[in-house]
Structure 1
Amino acid sequence: MSSRAICPVTKDTCIEGCLPAGCLRQKAAASLDQTRRLTVVLPWPVSANVYWRTRVVKGVAMTYVSAEAKSFKSEVQWLLKAAGCLRPIDGRVSVSMVLYPHRPQDWQKRQRKLGAAWDDGVRSIDLDNAIKVTLDALKGVAFEDDAWVRKITAERAEPDGEARLVVTIESIPVPTVQEAFALEA
């Protein structure tokens, strides 16, 4: 049985078996620092239509984040930390998203009838809604602010089982002044 101790990275109690082999969380953080790339599978995003709510109080409209949105954001942040993202990636980042809708029970029937376009009628969140909601949930954990996101790619994939969102966050190196001048010459 392994001993429980305080993790030097997270300042939490380390997970069972973590310390004798070296801190697993610390190794994950080091891996993230070297590659500056993180891929994580997230739950199906909350629709932007339910993400924000508006309430009128004494004639003043107030917009706030809904309980569903807070729950989604909390789960995303927990999954990122579990994947080794213990601090935000500094500077410019690229975010790639692949949205997998839930595969309906009658998918084979649809596929026989409609061929390759069978999944066009599968209910799914709009990509633009998924992007905004996901960036908001990633902010502060994967990257400091969504102002640092310089490139976004998103696609809706063919449903292959459970609904999910696969996100890859990667740092974008800033060219040095000398590299920029060399490109102009």
Structure 2
Amino acid sequence: MKSITLTLPYPVSANRYWRTYMPKGFKAPATTLSSEAKAYKKQVEAIVKRAGIAAPFDGRVAVDIALYPNRPQDWQRRAKKNPECWDDDVQCIDLDNANKVLLDSLKGLVFRDDKWVRKLFGERMEPDGEARVVVTITQIITERAQAALFAA
């Protein structure tokens, strides 16, 4: 089973990922990637290439996302006041927000299309420094049942 782990920049919020505009001569708005989204995708592509990934996995994949918010300067005071849950109010994008942006930025680079993501796990981690996301993509090998089992 092949697996790849990448440390990527903190993702752009899905709220800022898309841009809606009114094309000239049309009566309905159109939606496109924002300049922030395009820049993020370029960063991810450069990291994937530096990691030596030449082609995306074929077929099914599992994706594990560890989202690390930025550790605030007052983290020690927060931790002293509330040791178990000090990071609950640290600014962080929602996991589901991060998932869409990350899957979209990895599409065509690490896996062919996000339709092949069959397992998705995400976790917001305790801030330990700079904001980032650690993504592990694992190819899912499907065992083929013996044809004789399905014979009538």
The Cα shift of 1:60 comes to 1.5
What amino acid does structure 2 have at the position aligned with 1:90? D
Larger RCO (CA within 8 A; separation ≥ 6): 2
Deviations along 1:25-71, whole A, 9 cap, x unmatched? xxxxxxxxxx5210010000000000001112342210000000000
What does 1:48-63 align with in structure 2 at a 5 Å threshold?
48-57=14-23, 58-63=26-31
**Alignment size in residue pairs:** 147
Larger Rg: 1
Query: What residue number does 1:162 align with?
Result: 130
Secondary structure of the residue that 1:119 maps to in structure 2? coil
Q: Percent identity?
A: 53
Q: 1:29-108 residue pairs with structure 2 within 5 A?
A: 36-57=2-23, 58-108=26-76
In terms of fraction of residues, the more helix-rich structure is: 1
Aligned Cα root-mean-square deviation (Å):
1.4
Provide the TM-score with structure 1 as the length reference.
0.77
Q: CA deviation at 1:114?
A: 1.4
Aligned to 2:145: 177
Q: Are residues 1:142 and 2:122 paired?
A: no
Moved more, 136-145 or 58-67: 58-67
Q: Structure 2 CA distance, aligned partners of 1:178 and 1:83? A: 37
Unpaired stretches in structure 2, ≥5 consecutive residues: none
Give the distance between the partners of 1:148 and 1:114, measured in 2 at CA. Answer: 41
How far the C-alpha of 1:178 sits from its partner, in A, is 1.7
CA deviations 1:72-94 (Å, max 9, x no partner) are 00110110111121100111000
